[in-house]
Amino acid sequence: MVGLAVLLVGAGPGWAETLKVAQPNQQLYPNPDFASTPIGPVPVDAAVNVIQQQGDWFKVDYQGKEGWLPKTAFPQAESSKFSLPGILFGGPVKETKSDEVALAGKGFTPEVEAGYRQKHPEMKFAQVDQIEGYRVDSAKLQAFIKEGGLNP
Amino acid sequence: MIAKRCCQGLLLLILPFFLWGCAAGVASVVPAATIAAKTGYKAIQASRPISDSEEYYVGRAVAARILTKYPLYQNPKVTEYVNEVGQTVARKSPRPNVFRGYHFAVLDTEEVNAFACPGGIILITRGMLKSCANEDQLAAVLAHEVSHIAHKDGINSISKARWTEVLTTLGTEAAKQYAGAAGSLITLFEGSIDDVFKTIVVNGYSRGAELEADKEAVVILGKAGYNPGAMVALLEKMGSKGDPEGGIMKTHPPCSERLTQVKAQAKEAATGKMAQVREKRFKELKI
C-alpha cells in the first residue's frame, strides 16, 4: 500500500519528468507568456525537469533556475501524449494525439475554431493555413540579412 | 514526528486525487474540473487574460474573414520577399516570439492598407507594396504592423464584457464537459472576431495606439539596421496623395499628425552601399 502510494505521489505535483530540449533558440521565460522578458537561453539537448504544465507551456527547472518553456521545445512530448495528470490543470482530461490536451480548459481552442468554421464555411481558413505554411529558411534569412547589411 | 504524521495525513488526503489523475490516462474523458474547482482553479481562470494560444485562434479567424474581402496574392517570389523583410523586423520587436510565429502575406488589391491579425499573421495589400519606394519603407510598414501585435492592440479590442462572459461560461458546470459549453463559446468566439475585425478593418485602432505603433516601428527599424527615416519618407508620400475614401487613410490618424511625432524621433541613417543593395532587390520584385 505504501509502495503504491509512493508510486502515485510520484505522478503528482512533487514529481518531475526529465525532458530534453529538442528545438534550437529556446528561452526560459518567467511566465508562460512569450511577451515576458526571457530569463536566459536553454540550448538544444539541455535536460530540464518538468514541474508543471499549463496549456502550451511547461514549468521547468533548468540548472537550478525555474521558468517556463513552450511545449514546442519538446516535439517528443507533443507526439508521445506526454501530459501531466489533468487534475493539476483543471481541464477535461482526454487521451489525444493533438494539442487538444494542452489547450483543454481554455476558452478559444481548436474545437471552438472547428465549430466556427462549420457555422461559417465561407471563411477562407484554407488560405490561412497556406499563409502559415510559409516558412523562411533560417540560413536563407541570415543570408538575406547579411546581403542587405542588416542586423542579425 | 509531527512532520512525519502530517506527511502521512497529507498522503492519505491526496491519494484519491492521484488515483483519479492516473485513471485519466485510460479513460476517454474525466471530469477533472470537479476537483479543479475545489483547488481554486476557477478563481484563477476567472481573472485571467486572453492567452497566446487563444489570441492565435482569434487571429486565424480574423485573417480568414479578411480573406473573404480581399483575395490572396499568389506570387511565391513576392510572398517570400515580404516574409524575409517581415521576419527581419519581427525579431527586433518587443515581442519576437508569438504562439506559432509571425507570417506575412500579400492581398491582391490596389487598395493601400495593411492588417495585423492578433497572434502573428500580417497582411499587406499589393497597393501598399506599390506605395513603398524601397525595402526600408516596406520594413517600416511591416514594423508598424508587428508593433500592433507586440502591443496586443488587436486582441485587446475584444470587449471586456465579452471576455468576462467567456470566462463565466468556462466556469459553469456545463464547461466540465466541453460539449456543454461549445455553443456558447462558438457564439462568443464569433463576437470576438467581429470586435477585432471592426477595429482593424472598419474603424481602426485608437489614435494613441497608432502613434505608439509608429514610435515602436521607428525603434524596430533602427535595431534591424534599416533606415528609421524610411518611416518619415513613407508618411510624407502617403500624405501627399491626399485622403482617399477607403484603405489606410480611413482607419489611421492623419499623416500630418503621425509625421510630427515620427520626424522628432527618427534619425535619418546614412545611405550607403548596403541601402543600394536593398533598393535593388526591392526594385527587382515584380509586384
pLDDT, residue A2, reads 37
Contacts of A103 in chain B (CB under 8 A): 53
**Three-class SS state of A60:** strand
Q: pLDDT, tens digit, for every residue of A33-67? A: 765 677 888 888 899 988 887 777 888 999 989 99
Of B24, B27, B51, the CB nearest to A106: B51
Reply yes or no on whether the pLDDT at A94 is more than 50.
Answer: no
Considering only CB atoms, which chain A residues are within 8 Å of B104? 131, 134
Alpha carbon distance B49, A44 (integer Å) = 31
Find which of A88, A97, A116 to mutate to test the B interface (most B CBs within 10 Å of its CB): A116
A58 to chain B nearest CA, in Å? 14
Between CA A82 and CA A17 the distance in angstroms is 10
DSSP labels for B3-69?
HHHHHHHHHHHHHHHHHHHHHTTTSSEE-HHHHHHHTTHHHHHHT----HHHHHHHHHHHHHHHHHH
Beta bridge mates, A93: B30
Among B138, B286, B86, smallest CA distance to A144 is for: B86
**How confident is the model at residue B180, as a pLDDT?**
58
Torsion of CA A139, B122, B152, B241, to 10 degrees: 120
- pLDDT at position B125, please? 96
Residue A127: pLDDT band with limits 50, 70, 90:
very high
CA–CA dist A18, A63 (Å, integer): 12
pTM of the model: 0.68
Q: Are the C-beta atoms of residues B21 and A86 closer than 8 Å to each other?
A: yes
Per-residue pLDDT at A137: 87
Q: Which of A8, A29, A87 to mutate to test the interface with B (most CBs of B within 10 A)?
A: A87
Long-range contacts of A25-33 (CB under 8 A, 24+ apart): A26/A69, A26/A70, A26/A73, A27/B97, A28/A60, A28/A62, A28/A65, A28/A67, A28/A68, A28/A69, A29/A57, A29/A67, A29/A68, A29/A69, A30/A67, A30/A68, A31/A68, A32/A56, A32/A57, A32/A59, A32/A68, A33/A68, A33/B51, A33/B52
Nearest neighbour of A112 by CB, restricted to B37, B104, B189: B189
The pLDDT-based confidence of A22 (bands split at 50, 70, 90) is: confident
What confidence score (pLDDT) does residue A77 get?
Answer: 67
Measured in Å, how far apart are chain A's first and last C-alpha atoms?
58
Q: Which of A:21-40 have CB within 8 Å of B? A: 27, 33-35
Higher pLDDT: B276 or A22? It is B276
Q: Closest by alpha carbon to A134, among B100, B5, B134?
A: B100
The predicted pLDDT at position B173 comes to: 53
Question: Looking at this predicted complex, what is its ipTM?
Answer: 0.79
Query: pLDDT per residue over B62-83, tens digit each?
Result: 999 999 999 999 999 999 999 9
Q: Is the pLDDT of residue A83 over 90?
A: no
Please report the pLDDT score of residue A14 as a whole number. 42
For residue A108, which of B182, B148, B34 has the smallest C-alpha distance? B182
pLDDT tens, residue by residue, B167-184: 888 877 555 555 556 788
Q: B48-64: b or e for each residue (b if 16 or more CB lie within 10 Å)?
A: eebbbbbbbbbbbbbbb
> Which residue of A92, A107, A150 is in closest CB contact with B226?
A150
Q: Which segments in chain B show pLDDT lower than 50?
A: 1-7, 9-46, 243
- Nearest CA to B156 among B121, B205, B120, B94? B205
Per-residue pLDDT at A7: 33
Would you say A71 and A56 are in contact if contact means Cβ atoms under 8 Å apart? yes
**CB–CB of A57/A70 below 8 Å?**
yes
* Disruptive mutation site among B68, B84, B227 for chain A (greatest number of A CBs within 10 Å): B84
